Structure formats: C-alpha cells, structure tokens
Amino acid sequence: MAERECESDLSAARRLLESGFSVVLVKGGRVLASEKGEGVKPLLLACQAAGSDARGSSLADKVVGVAAARVATDVGVCAVYGRLMSEGAARELHDEGIAVHYDKLVPIILNRAGDGQCPMERLALGANSPGDAHRRLLEFLNM
C-alpha cells in the first residue's frame, strides 16, 4: 500500500478516535472497525471484525503499549497512532517498518491503579512473537 494512502487513512482514523471511539481501523478510506471500551479488548474486537482486511490498514488507538503494538504487527497494519504510546511499543512498531505517531510517549503503560506495569503488557512481553502475543491476549480475555 502506498505510504500516502496509509497516512491518509491514519488521519481519518485519528479523526474518528477524537469523536469518542477507543480504537479505529481504516483502509482505503473505508472504516473497517471502530470500537469503544477500555484496555486492549476494543483493539482485539476491531481486529476480529476487520479480519484479513486489517492487513495494510491504519490504526488509531487511545493507548498503545507493547500488547497493542504486537497485535497491530500481527494483523499487518501499516501505520499506528496512539494518544499515549510506550517507548517499547514505538520501538517495536518502528523496527517492523510501521509508521508511528503519538501525542505523548511514556516509558511504560501503567495498570489502572497506576502503581505498576499493565498486566497486558507483561503478558505480551512474555510472548515469543507478535502472533504468540495476540493469541495469548485473546486466550486471557476469553475471546
């Protein structure tokens, strides 16, 4: 997919994210999926809804940590925007050749209590590959 189309799709996904969604996938100017909710579950639902069309899509998400980065890598997105993104996620996405955009970069994604690392991040970091992380997250959330 052309880089310009990927960036145009990312702009559209960002606009929808700002309208109240938690995660949005756009490809070829068409919204593949948009979900509301907390944590990584909306991303997993959006990827399931998009199916194989997710490959080459652009993703906008409120929070992008390593868990979200590995799911995005596994489904084959071309660009990711996060309002909040962890350094590890940005590094992994960049290393995979995925365009990275964020508003705020933080060392790690914290748990909801704010007193430690997000448990989904720990789960993803223990995986051997993006596909393994994606599978583990789905299993953990009984999806």
Predicted pLDDT at 5: 85
1 pLDDT exceeds 60?
A: no
Lowest mean pLDDT among 1-5, 49-53, 71-75, 93-97: 1-5
Predicted pLDDT at 4: 81
Strand stretches in the chain, DSSP E? 23-27, 30-35, 58-64, 79-86, 99-106
Residue 42, beta-bridge partner list: none
89 pLDDT exceeds 80?
A: yes
100 pLDDT exceeds 70?
A: yes
96 pLDDT exceeds 90?
A: yes
92 pLDDT exceeds 80?
A: yes
Which structural domains are found in the chain, ordered by start?
A: 3-140 (3.40.140.30)
Nearest in space to 50 (alpha carbons), one of 25, 79, 82, 14: 25
How far, in Å, are 1, 73, 112 from residue 125 at the CA level? 29, 14, 18
Predicted pLDDT at 87: 97
User: Cα–Cα distance between 88 and 64 in angstroms, integer?
Assistant: 10
Residue pLDDT, tens place only, 34-74: 999 999 999 999 999 999 999 999 999 999 999 999 999 99
Predicted pLDDT at 125: 92
Output DSSP code: residue 22: S
How far, in Å, are 61, 109, 135 from residue 86 at the CA level? 12, 6, 21
Mean pLDDT, the chain, whole residue set = 94
Nearest in space to 68 (alpha carbons), one of 103, 26, 118, 29: 118
User: Cα–Cα distance between 36 and 76 in angstroms, integer?
Assistant: 21
102 pLDDT exceeds 80?
A: yes
CA 8, 100, 95, 68 torsion: positive or negative? negative
Q: Is 99 helix (H, G, I), strand (E, B) or coil?
A: strand
